Each structure stands twice: as C-alpha cells, then as structure tokens.
Amino acid sequence: MANSKSAIKRIRTAERNRLRNKAYKSALRTLTKSYFGAVETYTAEPTPENMETVKQAMSAAYSKIDKAVKRKVLHRNNGARKKARIARVLQKATAS
C-alpha cells in the first residue's frame, strides 16, 4: 500500500485514467466491429444504401480513433495503423 499522500493521489489518478482509457478502447472495438459488419453486408449486397451505412460506420470509427489519439489513449502510429486497416478493408470490398 502507498505510504505517502502523493502516492495515494497518484494511485487514484492512475485508476481514473485507466477506466477512461478502457472506455475509449472498448468503444473503439465496438465501432470497428460494426464497421466490419457493414462492409460484409455491402460485399454480400452492394447497394447505395449499404455503402452509405459503411461510410457512416467508417466516419464514426475514424472520429473515435482521432479522439483517442488526441487524448493520448492511443499512440499516433497505432491510430494511423487502425485507420489504414479500416480503409484497406473497404478498398478490398469495392475492388471485388
């Protein structure tokens, strides 16, 4: 257990930040999964409505990634890698 007041405060701060980071990462995973589902639906049935759904899901995922990077939940390169992966999936789906 912590011995000093400052150490106790650091433990509280670290726990608060851990929970905040966990919420961001969880939301990010959820948005990414919904995006991949939308792309799968679009691949099965390529209609303009499905493409609109894909674009909205992509926008939401990009937005959450950018916010996580801005708040230092994710490293810049990690965010860029996630966005590139998302874009690559759509590119592959529209090419086929």
Q: What is the pLDDT of residues 48-76, one digit of tens each?
A: 999 999 999 999 999 999 999 999 999 99
Q: Provide, rounded to the nearest whole percent, the portion of the chain with pLDDT above 70.
A: 98
Whether residue 61 contacts residue 31, with contact meaning beta carbons closer than 8 Å, is answered with: yes
The structural domains of the chain, ordered by start, are: 23-95 (1.10.287)
pLDDT of residue 2: 74
Confidence of residue 95 (pLDDT cuts 50, 70, 90): confident
Q: Are 27 and 63 in contact (CB under 8 A)?
A: no
DSSP, collapsed to helix, strand or coil, labels residue 13 as: helix
Task: List Cβ neighbours of 41 (8 Å cut-off, separation of 6 or more).
Answer: 50, 53
At 20 the pLDDT is 94
Half-sphere exposure for 57 (CA within 13 Å, toward CB): 24
96 pLDDT higher than 90:
no
**In terms of Cα–Cα distance, which of 32, 16, 34, 21 is closest to 69?**
21
Q: What is the pLDDT of residue 25?
A: 96
